[in-house]
């Protein structure tokens, strides 16, 4: 197997009688966003979620990390190179443009460009746009001086490029079209409209636009002179960017898939897609495992492949999904990084906000349904656990230290993991009572048969605890969960309307056969752990 994005200090170790299976292979990237062919002929891949830039050999599939998670560049969305070979990256969530020199040193060029996204050089001049409502298109001073504003009040412009006519061509997500403007100023001109949410443009050797369509998954070729359109490929929704390496065309996807477009209707997978994290997990009454992966939610049936139940551009999408809990009938309750608690029915393509629509919560994480039907969620930002019933929000507990996971005991008591305090507490009528402490960073929690199972992301372990005796069993150690080894990742601030603040969350769920499912968020996998010879109904 080729190298994955994460390598642990040691292989995962298991307690006697336990086995481990990866239900999907580890991801090689943290999704794939901006693409640009570098001076060395490799394609450089920006990865917002993983705060990483990788260089891809498109023939061998070999990857090299150029800017690692935890380094100076945070949430890179697009990249460009100057004539000297220095790499310029837009940092979407931090509103920055940074420069990584050929010597490996990084400096910030601008830090006042909210939603900085598309970036390109044209005749030695650097242009950037802001993918936000009211975004701008600017020329940046390479010496750090004040930028020149070409256009403003744009509805989410994205990855742009200069055409052979010397004009800047930029796609606009909010108006679903492609425009061009003279880099020296003047009125913009609409080139093409009624597209499939175009999020990037480049030019082929014959001067034709090639554009990825995020919502439809199409790769379109558009002649800017005649308007003629050709569908080069019809891929899955979630395309992000593209790059030419010579005459060869490569496109990226939110899932981390890199595809070579060989000609109309012909493609080659260079890198497979995968999970960006994953985050929370839940199992429905029919045995379906639901996987929350931020801009995607997957369903996984026993013995099957992960199927997309919804994603960023799906009708009825509730928002960036972090916490998830099955409620039956194919529906789930979710918490979003946008600050809402919602009930979502993927099959009906509809969701209903239960709380947080007008007054969003501050960094919601785990969610579960109480025995009485109330929806309970952990609000990390305020240190609360809240309950929602019929639109009424009740605080069940406050003053907690970074609460993340929630679960219920058979007696109806709510258990909460305090990731900051290293413990799990039960919410009582008079406050909270410690159920287990001495943990490093507990996140996902699960109760079954009176036993508490905790994903300790800080210790990279899965721990089974008997609350009555205090007996602990480490089921697995050196799990691919939590922050990578070395420098911890820097906060992902998010940017509305796509996402609020993002953060790691290794969830856990149990299958009807007794399997334990754990989010391998460090490597992008879902792990199934089974005790040999034991099944449960």
Q: Are 404 and 378 in contact (CB under 8 A)?
A: yes
Q: Is CATH 3.40.50.970 what the domain over 30-271 is classified as, yes or no?
A: no
The domain ranges of the chain are 30-271, 281-485+503-528
- Please state, in angstroms and rounded to a whole number, the distance separating the CA atoms of residues 370 and 36: 49
Which tokens in the block code for residue 72?
């100076």
β-sheet with 161-162: strand ranges across: 161-162, 168-172, 177-181, 189-192
The pLDDT of residue 26 is: 94
DSSP letter for 230, please: E
Q: Are 132 and 494 in contact (CB under 8 A)?
A: no
Q: Are 157 and 129 in contact (CB under 8 A)?
A: yes
> Averaged in consecutive runs of 10 residues, what is the pLDDT profile of the chain (537 residues)?
74 95 94 96 96 95 92 96 96 96 92 97 97 96 94 96 97 97 95 96 97 97 94 96 97 97 93 95 95 96 88 95 95 96 97 96 97 96 96 96 96 95 92 94 95 96 92 96 80 85 95 95 96 63
Minimal CA–CA distance to 442: which of 424, 429, 466? Answer: 424
The pLDDT of residue 377 is: 98
CB atoms within 10 A of CB 17: 11
DSSP codes joined into one string, 107-156 = EEEES--TTEEEEEEETTEEEEEE-SEEEEEEEEPTTS-PPEEEEEEEE-
Report how far Cα 68 is from the mean position of its chain's Cα atoms: 16
Q: What are the counts of helices (DSSP H) followed by strands (DSSP E) for the chain?
A: 0, 49
- Please state, in angstroms and rounded to a whole number, the distance separating the CA atoms of residues 53 and 76: 7
3.40.309.10, 3.40.50.720, 3.90.230.10, 2.120.10.30: CATH of 281-485+503-528: 2.120.10.30
Which alpha helices (H) appear in 247-387, and where do they start and end? none
Over residues 355-409, the pLDDT tens digits come to: 999 999 999 999 999 999 999 999 999 999 999 999 999 999 999 999 999 999 9
Which residues neighbour 366 within 8 Å (Cβ) at sequence distance 6 or greater? Answer: 280, 323, 335, 377, 378, 404, 405, 406, 407, 417, 444, 445, 505, 507
Q: Are 214 and 195 in contact (CB under 8 A)?
A: no
DSSP letter for 375, please: E
Minimal CA–CA distance to 321: which of 54, 75, 519? Answer: 519
SS3 of residue 248 by DSSP? strand
- Please state, in angstroms and rounded to a whole number, the distance separating the CA atoms of residues 438 and 318: 36
CB atoms within 10 A of CB 225: 9
> Which secondary structure element, helix H or strand E, spans residue 261, and what is its range?
strand 258-263
Torsional class of 21: left (φ above 0), alpha (ψ -120 to 50), beta (otherwise)? beta
What b/e readout covers 128-156, taking b as 16+ CB neighbours within 10 angstroms?
bbbbbeebbbbbbeeeeeebeebbeebeb
Over residues 139-172, the pLDDT tens digits come to: 999 998 999 999 999 999 999 999 999 999 999 9
Torsional class of 475: left (φ above 0), alpha (ψ -120 to 50), beta (otherwise)? alpha
Minimal CA–CA distance to 19: which of 537, 527, 535, 536? Answer: 527
């Amino acid at each position: 197997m080729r190298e994955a994005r994460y390598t642990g200090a040691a292989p995962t170790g298991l307690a006697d009688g336990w086995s481990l299976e990866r239900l999907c292979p580890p991801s090689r990237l943290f999704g794939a966003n901006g693409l640009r062919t570098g001076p060395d002929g490799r394609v450089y891949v920006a990865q917002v979620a993983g705060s990483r830039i990788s260089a891809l050999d498109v023939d061998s599939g070999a990857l090299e990390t150029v800017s690692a998670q935890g380094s100076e560049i945070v949430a890179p969305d697009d990249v460009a190179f100057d004539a000297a070979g220095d790499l310029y990256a837009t940092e979407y969530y931090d509103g920055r443009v940074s420069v990584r020199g050929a010597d490996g040193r990084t400096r910030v060029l601008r830090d006042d460009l909210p939603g900085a996204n598309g970036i390109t050089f044209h005749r030695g001049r650097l242009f950037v746009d802001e993918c936000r409502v009211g975004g701008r298109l600017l020329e940046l001073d390479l010496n750090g001086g004040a930028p020149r504003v070409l256009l403003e009040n744009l509805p989410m412009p994205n990855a742009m490029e200069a055409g052979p006519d010397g004009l800047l061509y930029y796609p606009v997500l909010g108006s679903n079209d492609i425009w061009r403007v003279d880099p020296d100023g003047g009125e913009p001109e609409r080139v093409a409209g009624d597209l499939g949410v175009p999020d990037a443009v480049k030019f082929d050797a014959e001067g034709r636009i090639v554009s990825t369509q995020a919502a439809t998954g199409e790769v379109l070729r558009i002649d800017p002179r005649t308007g003629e359109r050709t569908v080069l490929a019809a891929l899955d929704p979630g395309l992000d960017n593209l790059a030419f390496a010579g005459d060869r065309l490569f496109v990226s996807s939110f899932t981390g898939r890199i595809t070579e477009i060989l000609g109309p209707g012909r493609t080659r997978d260079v890198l497979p897609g995968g999970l960006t994290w994953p985050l929370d997990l839940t199992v429905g009454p029919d045995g379906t495992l639901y996987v929350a992966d931020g801009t995607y939610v997957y369903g996984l049936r026993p013995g099957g492949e992960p199927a997309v139940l919804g994603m960023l551009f799906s009708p009825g999408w509730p928002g960036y999904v972090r916490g998830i809990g099955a409620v039956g009938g194919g529906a789930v309750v979710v918490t979003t990084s946008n600050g809402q608690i919602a009930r979502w029915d993927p099959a009906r393509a509809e969701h209903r906000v239960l709380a947080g629509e007008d007054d969003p919560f501050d960094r919601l994480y785990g969610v579960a349904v109480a025995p009485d039907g109330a929806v309970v969620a952990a609000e990390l930002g305020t240190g609360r656990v809240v309950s929602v019933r019929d639109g009424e929000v009740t605080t069940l507990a406050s003053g907690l230290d970074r609460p993340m996971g929630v679960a219920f005991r058979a007696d109806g008591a709510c258990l909460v993991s305090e990731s900051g305090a290293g413990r799990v507490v039960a919410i009582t009528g008079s406050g909270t009572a410690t159920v287990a402490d001495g943990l490093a960073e507990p996140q996902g929690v699960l109760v079954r048969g009176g036993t508490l199972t905790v994903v300790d992301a800080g210790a990279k372990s899965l721990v089974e605890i008997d609350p009555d005796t205090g007996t602990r069993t480490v089921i697995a150690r050196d799990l691919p969960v939590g922050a990578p080894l070395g420098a911890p990742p820097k906060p992902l601030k998010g940017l509305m309307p796509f996402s609020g603040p993002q953060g790691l969350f290794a969830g856990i769920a149990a299958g009807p056969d007794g399997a334990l499912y754990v989010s391998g968020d460090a490597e992008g996998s879902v792990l199934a752990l089974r005790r040999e010879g034991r099944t449960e109904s």
